[in-house]
Amino acid sequence: MISDLHSTRLKAAPLPAQATPLDGFGHLVTAIGDPDFERKLAGFVEGICGADQLYLFNVDKYEPHVRSALSSDGSDSAASIAKAYAAGRWWRFDSAMGKMCDEASLAPRLYQTDMMQASSDRLRSTLYGRMHLRDRIMVCGRAADDVIGISMLRSVERGPFGSDQRAQVEWMAQLAFPLVAKHWATVNRDRQLSRALTHLPDIERCIALAPEALPPREAAVCARYLYGQSTDGVAADLAIGRETVVTYRKRLYDRLGIGSHRELLLWYLNLYGSVRSRGHM
């Protein structure tokens, strides 16, 4: 057993007697997918366990990639620590990070590291000491094909997590972990959908996979209308006449059994979802 590391598999547990009320949790749920979700989560976490800093990250081949680094005082100290951790490749000496990757599963686990007793002298004296870090609790697990981590840190000034605070983190993590996974899935989906309508080559690739097997000219006209070009813009882009574009559009609508640009957009969004679900985009 690594002396500085304590690992616990999270299990369903009742609300601790001293836990923070659930008011903030409702705000988290409604903020899923919004830019301020991480900031609201940081405030909720601080209220639960007094953490100075919150880090949200995913892991690829044992290497953590921090997506959000937030400090309770609004400073950039958490972002600076995340940058230093990545630049120094400190995960190579971080026993908790390695253990977390080995044990990652759909059932999240909690890892607490006493930074004053870190098993790596180099990590303790160089990174933790220089950054004035005292204690860390990470909650990690799998969501779909991704390994997700939530890391909560307390500074030397605030001292280590108490037993009551750890119990509240165990309770809170059962709620927060799936929310973070849902938030990231929502953000990623929105980004993908935005690209699906703002990147012409992607639109063309998707249309080429349509079961209707659109002829090349109809497909080209279709892609450019979806991209947002006007009839005159499509004509100029394809170096054909305006009336020719209108003819291709009529053939396209007849082939798809639709009668408006709105219906064309709905057809494309359904197609895009189907293509993505098959892993072709």
Q: For residue 254, what are its two tokens?
A: 């007849």
**224-265: per-residue pLDDT in tens?**
999 999 999 999 999 999 999 999 999 999 999 999 999 999
Determine what percent of the chain is predicted with pLDDT higher than 70.
89
Q: How confident is the model at residue 195 (pLDDT cuts 50, 70, 90)?
A: confident
**Model confidence over 56-77: pLDDT tens digits?**
999 988 899 999 999 999 899 9
Percent of the chain having pLDDT more than 90?
A: 49
Token pair in block for residue 169: 């983190």
Closest listed residue to residue 151, CA positions, set 248, 239, 71: 71
**Per-residue pLDDT, 1:** 32
pLDDT digits (tens, 9 = 90+) for 14-48: 444 454 445 567 788 889 988 899 999 999 999 88
Where are the domains positioned within the chain? 25-187, 199-276
For 146, residues 6+ apart whose C-beta sits below 8 A from its C-beta are 58, 181, 184
Q: Are domains 25-187 and 199-276 of this chain identical in fold? A: no
pLDDT at 115: 79
CA–centroid distance for 177 within its chain: 11
pLDDT band at 2 (very low <50, low <70, confident <90, very high): very low
Please tell me the CATH code under which domain 199-276 is placed.
Answer: 1.10.10.10
Lowest mean pLDDT among 7-11, 195-199, 213-217: 7-11
3-state helix, strand, coil in the chain (%, to 5): 55, 15, 25
- Does domain 25-187 fall under CATH 3.40.50.720? My reply is no
Q: What are phi and psi of 124, to 5 degrees?
A: -65, -45
